Amino acid sequence: MPGFDPTDGLCVPDLAAVTGRVRQGPVLVVGLGRSGRAAVALLGARGAEVRAYDAAERPAAAPAVPTFSGPDVPAEALAGVALVVLSPGVPPAPVVAAVRAHAPDALVTGTFTLGIAALLDEIPDADLFLVTGTNGKSTTATILAALLEADGRAVFAGGNLGPPLCAHLAGEARARAYVLEASSFQLETYPGAPAHAAVITNVTPDHLDRYPGADAYAATKAAVFRGMDADRPAVLGAPVPEAAAPPPGLRVVRAYEASFDPGGAIVLPGTPPVDAGGFPLAGAHNRRNAACALAVALDAGVPPETCARGLATVRPLPHRCAFVAALDGVAFYDDSKATNVASAVATLDGLGQPFVLVAGGRAKPGDDPAPLVDLVAREGRGAVLLGESAARLAALLGRHVPVSVVDTMDEAVAAARALAQPGDAVVLAPAAASYDRYENFEARGRDFARAVRTAYPSAT
């Protein structure tokens, strides 16, 4: 990423350095979103001297510690600090420049690494499982947690998904197994840990406004394998670019080579089949996510029959190919989390039925729509488009299928229903971020579900 090399001398070299710097203090937490506030709470619970900075003049729920604000980190905030902890949404380069100028003896880490350092300092033998990838990482982490819970293990599932690890550790509850979803932002300052297993579900270009290129983004994903002991499983849910390849010494498990027999079993090479007949998540992409989770759980000693029970307990995460309603043979799905082309393609291709696509929003820099256009041309019934990328998508998709460009989600639902036929799916899979008109992808998904239920109150 421009101006920031996670391997340089400012980044903490290992987890012990994080723990040592916390005890030395002071510690500055940068960014007061959910992860930053959790880091402040954890540091406070550990007796550290804590400061905080947020670009907002009045950050929401500001903690009861000295808090600075403004467009740049002020010198006063950095005076004498031993450690700077970055929230994942904070681009590191400007903060690192400020650290170099005002606190050259400080080290830099992230909230994700702070949580893992605190966890292993308190519970050195905790079972740690890490999951990353461009798409499917939340679902894969959720499935893995369900498999471990089916085996009677106390599990914390969080990180990028659900509650931050720092928030969990600031409280009193503890688990035995920790399943952590890691984003590329969280892995930028991750020095490595002795995880029992790590997963990359897939790697496709994303966040190219933060990284200088696709290889830099892929290499950041590969950081999930740092610090693992030899012969631990490095699980791949799809072939990955060379920049994201596991390092030598790890046992590479290619979960994408799993087979799915007609009876519903998932068969990973070299392992017994696992009955997935009760697995409720739709789509081939979710079966691949399940294969990644199974590879980890079987290696961790969960019996195949227990895995089968665990698979049956999984429920769809909100806004990830979540069923909304059905009317006259047409099913409506909310996949608002599909904020890039690869995610939208995985969902639509995995449904195995004709579809009407509802898409559009703020396109991500460098995200090529060609795979989505090809899939819609082959299998789509039509497309309804809204948001900033609507005009561009309409020009591409309109060569192949009927297209409507609309202004509101209510209009989108009505136009999609008019295009759909019995047996079709209407799928909100935007292939774009939500920030052109929504606070986040969750708000977009909720608006889609509201529009469906308002227009068709008799839908089931």
Q: Assess whether pLDDT exceeds 50 at residue 1.
A: no
Q: What is the per-residue pLDDT for 362?
A: 96
Q: Which CATH number describes the domain made up of 123-313?
A: 3.40.1190.10
Fold agreement (123-313, 322-455) = no
Q: What is the per-residue pLDDT for 335?
A: 95
Q: Domain residue spans in the chain?
A: 15-113, 123-313, 322-455
Q: Assess whether pLDDT exceeds 80 at residue 63.
A: no
Least confident of 59-63, 252-256, 260-264: 59-63
> 177-196, pLDDT tens digit by residue?
999 999 999 999 999 999 99
**7 band by pLDDT with thresholds 50, 70 and 90:** very low
Q: What is the per-residue pLDDT for 93?
A: 86
State the first-to-last Cα distance of the chain, in angstroms, to the nearest integer: 47
Q: Assess whether pLDDT exceeds 50 at residue 348.
A: yes
Q: Which CATH number describes the domain made up of 15-113?
A: 3.40.50.720
Over range 200-220, report the average pLDDT: 90
Exposure b/e, 68-94, CB count within 10 A at least 16 = b: bbeeebeeebbeebbbbbbbbebbbeb
> 108-142, pLDDT tens digit by residue?
999 999 999 999 999 999 999 999 999 999 999 99
Query: Phi/psi of residue 280, each to 5°?
Result: -90, -5
Q: Does domain 322-455 have CATH number 3.90.190.20?
A: yes
pTM over 0.85: yes
> 359-372, pLDDT tens digit by residue?
999 999 889 999 99
Over range 404-419, report the average pLDDT: 98
**2 band by pLDDT with thresholds 50, 70 and 90:** very low
Closest CA to 337 of 313, 311, 367, 361: 361
Do 431 and 383 meet the contact criterion of CB atoms below 8 Å apart? no
Q: What is the per-residue pLDDT for 3?
A: 36
Query: Which tokens sit at 265?
Result: 């079993």
Q: What is the per-residue pLDDT for 206?
A: 82
Closest CA to 182 of 211, 222, 126: 222
Q: Assess whether pLDDT exceeds 90 at residue 56.
A: no
